[in-house]
Amino acid sequence: MFFSLSKKILYTLMAFLIFLIVIFFTIFINLYSQKLQDGQNLVYMRNQYVVDLLHENIEMKRKLSDIITDFPVLSEQYYITPMKTTLDETQKELTKEQKLNAELKENYNNNVEAIRTGGKMIGLSLLLVVLLILMLIFLLDHWVIIPIEKLTDISDKVSKGVFSSRIKHNHDGRFKDEFDTLYSAFNQMLDNTEKNIDEIRMREHFLQQLIDAIPDGIRVIDKDYNVIMANQAFYRLFSINSSCVGQKCYLAYGYNCNACPVSRFNCPIQTLKEKNSSDLHAIHDVNKKPLYVSAAKLHFGYSADNYHIVEAIHDLSGDVRFSHQQKISSLGFLSTSLAHEMKNNLGAIRLILEGILESEYKDINDDDERKKYLLMAYKQLVETVKIPERLLKLAQYSETDVSDINVASAVKDMTLMIDYDAKRRGIVVKIQIDNDLTVQMNEADFKMVVLNLTQNAIKAMPDGGELNIYAEKNKRYVILHIQDSGIGIEEEKIAHIFEPFYSANAQVKSSGLGLAIVKSLIEKAKGSISVKSKPGKGTTFTIRFAKKAPRKK
């Protein structure tokens, strides 16, 4: 049965009002009785005064009678008989007055008793009023205050994110009121909210797992540089151990109090806002890794200004490695083809020269001019046969094959491969390296580094010049310098020359991967590379390798 809260309060107030009316009516009756009693007291006092006068009159008459008795001269006819009659009448009147006074006194006593009874009733009424007020307070506390406190308590928990609590209420349907209906609605709302939150969390978890499954780094940032979401690949790319959600996006690039400088990075937020474009593509060098950044706007809502920025960051190190492996593979295939094609013919020529020298010039002195030229041709032929062998050795790429490499020998081997091109361009190659200088590195990697740098140097000197390759060492490093006198590189382009697909000189045709491969191979060997250049003056590449630690005896 539904018994509304308004009815409860209304009926309680009506009962309280009726009770007060009864009390006030009782008080009014008692006050009116008090007024009547006061009037009665006045009448009693007046009658008492009359009685006192009559007593005095009687006493005076008795005294007069005694005097007459003492003087018999006075005629009984004139004084005694009338006096006796008067005394009898007065005595009767006094008796009546005494009887009336007794009745008045009895009425007075009755009125006093009525006053006392009224006082008791008033006291009892006041006590009942206090009890009624306390009962009303109890009912209001039970019907209103406690339910409101329950709602306040559960609202406080909800505001703190606790949606599992529920309000206990009357479920049996007896004497339900508005608060019971409100409790049911509130609990149902909490059930729906908790269900929706669980669904949202499941979707967020699914979305997080989805972007975590993407191998490229993904993060979402807002227009205030705050990171909304990021995946595990992003954390690995930037070597971040904890979550960056809620932090500023530029913290990943090492800047703590401002956005990334435009001179170093293309900020997606600034670029997309200033250029009013929908996407961005750029290459950033972060932690010595080339990263390809693709960013786009993610609109939400109905306004064009409501959007987030989604960044997809791809590590190009693998592409550089793959390109390097492709180069090595192509070089290996070329070396194999050259070896098969050249060894047969060169071997036949070598046998012919050996036969001529053995049969015709065996007994001739080596100072003979013809024999000297034949011996020179034979030695060059032997060296020529070694070229395919060097190419095959260069093609044998290995990730873990690290050894002590003789720097002078490896550099001379690689300069032989560029010797023809250098001479054709009028370039003088000078090598100044101690024969005992060694570095620890994969041999194929080291030769690929030297080959790439020397080829770039030759391309940078189309009109001839000088290529100097020299090395030095100190307590910590073995330092190799490759210096050309070519066209040079502009200062603002030097910071980007190691980025994949970037070419500093439009005059030189290049895929833009050579220097990225060089840097990757050197850093894999725990080395470093730097460059100094001036336009028109030439370029110097400096490679530092850590010296091999001496073995403990």
Q: What is the pLDDT of residues 478-526, one digit of tens each?
A: 999 999 999 888 887 887 787 765 665 645 555 556 787 788 888 888 8
Q: How far is CA 419 from the centre of its chain?
A: 61
Report which listed range, 12-21, 320-329, 442-451, is most confident.
442-451
pLDDT, average across residues 195-215: 86
Strands (E), 3-47: none
Position 132 pLDDT exceeds 70: yes
Domain range 214-315, its CATH number among 3.40.50.880, 1.10.300.10, 3.30.413.10, 3.30.450.20? 3.30.450.20
At 19 the pLDDT is: 75
What percent of the chain is predicted at pLDDT more than 90?
8
470 confidence band (pLDDT: 50, 70, 90): very high
Does this model's pTM top 0.75? no
Position 421 pLDDT exceeds 80: yes
Among candidate residues 463, 405, 410, 414, the one with its CA nearest the CA of residue 438: 405
Between 141-155, 172-186, 389-403, 405-419, the lowest mean confidence (pLDDT) is in 389-403
Topology alike, domains 5-159 and 400-553: no
What end-to-end distance do the CA atoms of the chain give, in Å?
98
Position 553 pLDDT exceeds 50: no
Q: Which residues of 374-397 are buried (b: 16+ CB within 10 A; e: fewer)?
A: beeebeebeeebebbeebbebbeb
CATH of domain 5-159: 1.10.287
Strands (E), 144-207: none
- The third-level CATH classification (topology) of the domain covering 400-553 is Heat Shock Protein 90 (3.30.565)
Compute the mean pLDDT over every residue in the chain, rounded to the nearest whole number. 76
pLDDT, average across residues 73-84: 51
Position 543 pLDDT exceeds 70: yes
Question: pLDDT tens digit string along 237-266?
Answer: 887 877 788 888 878 877 776 667 766 677
All structural domains of the chain with their residue ranges:
5-159, 214-315, 316-397, 400-553
Among candidate residues 155, 157, 187, the one with its CA nearest the CA of residue 171: 187
At 400 the pLDDT is: 57
pLDDT, average across residues 34-43: 67
At 552 the pLDDT is: 46
Token pair recorded at residue 475: 């307590």
Strands 217-221 and 307-315: antiparallel
Q: What are phi and psi of 189, to 5 degrees?
A: -65, -40
Q: Which residues contact 264 (CB under 8 A, 6 or more apart)?
A: 495
Position 551 pLDDT exceeds 60: no
At 38 the pLDDT is: 67
Position 466 pLDDT exceeds 80: yes
548 vs 404, more confident: 404
3-state secondary structure of 538: strand
Position 129 pLDDT exceeds 60: yes
542 confidence band (pLDDT: 50, 70, 90): very high
pLDDT, average across residues 188-212: 87
Cα(368)–Cα(340) distance, integer angstroms: 35
Strands 438-441 and 403-406: antiparallel
Position 75 pLDDT exceeds 50: no
Cα(372)–Cα(346) distance, integer angstroms: 20
At 117 the pLDDT is: 66
546 vs 65, more confident: 546
Question: pLDDT tens digit string along 135-187?
Answer: 877 777 777 778 888 888 888 888 888 878 888 776 665 667 777 788 888 88
Position 389 pLDDT exceeds 80: no
